[in-house]
Chains A and B, each alone.
Chain A
Amino acid sequence: ETGVTQTPRHLVMGMTNKKSLKCEQHLGHNAMYWYKQSAKKPLELMFVYNFKEQTENNSVPSRFSPECPNSSHLFLHLHTLQPEDSALYLCASSQVDRGLGYTFGSGTRLTVV
């Protein structure tokens, strides 16, 4: 266990479904992130939340909608996804300006059918 917990571990959804990914960190960090990892591509930063405020949205399509109700929880709401959105979605957290690195969760393997 890394201290960052993601659920579910695996998710299969149809293109018309609505689902949510959940991330919870138990490290007392103040920043949380969503990354997408597709085959043969680098991890791509999707969203950044710093003290619950979204500070970055890397041109992510609106079918991905993040939510950060507090500094320990992060959600990624999904709707009308495409098959090319199938990937491993990783959550990470960090303590800003402490220089202690980023801690990742185990990810949610998403398959869109």
Chain B
Amino acid sequence: GENVEQHPSTLSVQEGDSAVIKCTYSDSASNYFPWYKQELGKRPQLIIDIRSNVGEKKDQRIAVTLNKTAKHFSLHITETQPEDSAVYFCAASSGLNYGGSQGNLIFGKGTKLSVKP
């Protein structure tokens, strides 16, 4: 089955710097890669996602890149702000055979991002 590795587990940056979180996946059939942000004591919320037919997607200060050949994808946050401090989770799914389990999301273990003012 799918396995998702996420690095680093913790990341500390200075306000205004960029932050990069990387994930690798094992199942070449995976074609959907969402990123969730979970603030302390809150529920995870989707911040950006990418499908395998594109290599990059950007939304204001957040971007995600995908390298299908190497089976890795990354989250890039530019001009970080204190409110970006949270735990970020990557995930992958194949979306195949909706009636089965392949469409389920497999999550990485998370990266705790701290942005120091």
Partners in one complex: no
Chain B interfacial positions (CB closer than 8 Å to A) = none
